[in-house]
Structure 1
Amino acid sequence: MITINTFRKLALSFPETIEEPHFEKTAFKVKKKIFATYDPKNQTACIKLSEIDQNVFSSADKTIIYPVNNKWGKQGWTLIELKKVNKDLFIDALITAYCEVAPQKLADKMRPNDNK
């Protein structure tokens, strides 16, 4: 299970991430772009992924990670059931979402460097 404290700590550890209210949710943004939101009522995260990444993460378990059931889901917005998700899988998905919206220089700081 991922708590809001764990979610917040992870998201805010990414370069230049800020936390702001977003309607009844909490949004995590980089350079004014949302990469994740937290919904306390449903204990879910919603993250922004590419279509390919959305398919990859959803294939792990469609009852835990799945596209939003509307036009936003077709644009890569993906729900994660925080009561059920494995922490390592959540971290991988959150990093991937951050890299999807962050400028290249910031995203590169989060990706492993094969040349080291």
Structure 2
Amino acid sequence: MVTIEEFKNLAGSFPESSEEVHFEKGSFRVRKKIFATLDEKKRQVVVKLSEIDQSVFCAFDGTVFYPVKGAWGKKGWTVIELQNVKRDMLMDAIKASYCLVAPKSLSVKIQ
């Protein structure tokens, strides 16, 4: 289980990441592009993954990682259940999302 504060610290640890409000949820961005959102009430995080990364994470455990319903899910947006995810797996997913969204000059700094 990962707490809300742990998630915020992880997402905020990437170069140039910022936290902003997005439709009454928290969003984490790099140069104005969202790489993760946080729904504190539901204790869910949504990250943007490549199709391959999404399939790998969802195959690992479909109760922890699963595509967002509808078209957004088909574009790689993936729900993560904070109460069920292990910290290492969450960090891997956030990192994959950040690297997908961030400019190459920033993403190479964390690989």
Q: Report the Cα distance in structure 2 between the residues aligned to 1:89 and 1:26, rounded to whole angstroms.
A: 20
User: Residues of 2 paired with 1:15 and 1:54: CA distance?
Assistant: 23
Amino acid at match of 1:107: S
How far apart are the structure 2 equivalents of 1:23 and 1:3? 21
Supply the distance in 1 between the matched residues of 2:69 and 2:83 (Cα, whole angstroms): 20
1:4 CA drift (Å): 1.4
Q: Take 1:3 and 1:21, find their aligned partners in 2: how far apart are those partners?
A: 19
Partner Cα separation in structure 1 for residue 78 and residue 45 of structure 2:
8
Q: Give the Å deviation of 1:110.
A: 1.2
Q: Percent identity?
A: 54
Separation in 2, partners of 1:4, 1:83: 10
Residue 26 of structure 2 aligns with an amino acid whose one-letter code is T
Q: Distance in 2 between matches of 1:46 and 1:64?
A: 11
What is residue 100 of structure 2 aligned with on the other side? 100
Q: Which residue of 1 aligns with 2:33?
A: 33
C-alpha distance in 2, partners of 1:68/1:11? 19
Bigger Rg over Cα: 1
Deviation at 1:23, TM superposition (A): 1.0
Could you tell me how far 1:84 is from its partner in structure 2?
0.3
Q: Does 1:68 align with 2:58?
A: no
TM-score by structure 1 length?
Answer: 0.94
* Structure 2: gaps spanning 5 or more residues: none
Q: Distance in 2 between matches of 1:3 and 1:23?
A: 21
Q: Which residue is 2:12 aligned to?
A: 12
Normalised to the residue count of structure 2, the TM-score between the two structures is 0.98
Give the aligned length: 111
Please report the RMSD computed on the Cα atoms of aligned residues, expressed in angstroms.
0.6
